[in-house]
Amino acid sequence: MVKIYILLTLVMLMWGLNVSALKVLVEAVDPMLLTSFRIMVAGIAVLIICSVMGIFRLPHKHEWLIIFYISVFNVILHHTTVAIGIDMTTGINAALILGMMPLVTVMMTVVFLRERVVWLRILGFLFGFTGVAVTTLAGKGGLAAISIGDLIVFIGVVVQGFSFVLISKLKPTFDPRLATGYMLLMGSIFILIASLISGSPVKEIGYLFDWKLGLIFLFSAVLASAFGHMTYNYAIKKVGPAEAAIFINMNTLFAITGAAIFLNEQITMNHVVGFVLILCGVFLGTGAVENIINKRRRRDIGV
């Protein structure tokens, strides 16, 4: 489990820094077009990695259907709704709503997987959510009134939470890392079609051939998206969607750190308090406290 937790923390670091990377990229390329191209490159990269690892194979007929279902929720609906929603609300509101992912995922596992969540882990998710709330409200704007954009972003959170449950239901015969490649590639095609229909200027892709933007794009597509998603989906199969989702709270911490370093944004006391709460949430939500308590109980009774 320690190895999985280290990998999840690394993924959260990449996803956090990816916020700064995307902020730079969308200033040069249309967001929808960029998303489709980034996810497409990520999907191809994942399939190549899977081939090198020796786990590549074509899905069977019934597996294509499962991959399509997950792709609809995890890639197409999630990325599309979040992109549209963020454009219609404030960044603070969007960050706070996206921070609800662990809580939404827990709700999904309880409803669809009939999992029992002990009170310590529930407390961990609440700590994590509070940490995200404190951190994202550190800006000057505060939390504005609920808008249609807020609702659309929340829908994006719900559909991704549901996709995590679907991923956990994948049959052991099909590696979730390989499924990630197919999901990303399939989803990117639909997003590309949608971006072209909406009139996205295809010529803007040429801007990515600039060496600086090109390196940022490769980090975002290959490391943050390809490696990040295949590792996270693999972790879901190993530790479950609820336990893996608690790490998403660390996105906010790393995103703020990256913004301070690369975008020269200021870190406030709210961010420090949020950081402490997020760490407490991860510690409780991953079951670390449970394990310590159980070990002490076993030691006390001489087991």
Taking Cα atoms as reference points, which of 140, 91, 106 lies closest to residue 270? 140
SS3 category, 186: helix
pLDDT band at 222 (very low <50, low <70, confident <90, very high): very high
Taking Cα atoms as reference points, which of 181, 193, 182, 190 lies closest to residue 222? 181
d(C-alpha 59, C-alpha 66), whole Å: 10
Question: 3-state SS of 267-297?
Answer: CCHHHHHHHHHHHHHHHHHCCHHHHHHHHHH
d(C-alpha 50, C-alpha 184), whole Å: 14
Per the prediction, the chain carries an average pLDDT of 81
Q: By mean pLDDT, which of 30-34, 210-214, 264-268 is the weakest?
A: 264-268
Q: Over the stretch 92-106, which tens digit does the pLDDT of each residue have? A: 667 767 777 777 777
pLDDT band at 134 (very low <50, low <70, confident <90, very high): confident
DSSP structural state of residue 169: T
Q: Over the stretch 34-54, which tens digit does the pLDDT of each residue have? A: 889 999 999 999 999 999 999
State percent of the chain over pLDDT 90: 17
SS3 category, 236: helix
Query: What average pLDDT does range 238-267 have in this prediction?
Result: 76
Phi, psi of 60 (to 5 degrees): -75, 170
pLDDT for residue 259 is more than 90: no
Q: By mean pLDDT, which of 126-135, 209-218, 223-232 is the weakest?
A: 126-135
DSSP structural state of residue 59: P
Residue 243 near residue 6, CB atoms below 8 Å: no
Type of residue found at 135: T
Residue 199 CB partners (closer than 8 Å, separation 6+): none
Q: What is the pLDDT of residue 286?
A: 64
pLDDT for residue 140 is more than 60: no
Displacement of CA 26 from its chain's centroid (Å):
19
Query: What average pLDDT does range 84-98 have in this prediction?
Result: 71
Displacement of CA 278 from its chain's centroid (Å):
16
Taking Cα atoms as reference points, which of 232, 195, 220, 236 lies closest to residue 84? 195
Taking Cα atoms as reference points, which of 254, 285, 16 lies closest to residue 126? 285
d(C-alpha 240, C-alpha 245), whole Å: 9
Query: What average pLDDT does range 55-63 have in this prediction?
Result: 87
Q: What is the pLDDT of residue 137?
A: 67
pLDDT for residue 145 is more than 50: no
Residue 240 near residue 108, CB atoms below 8 Å: no
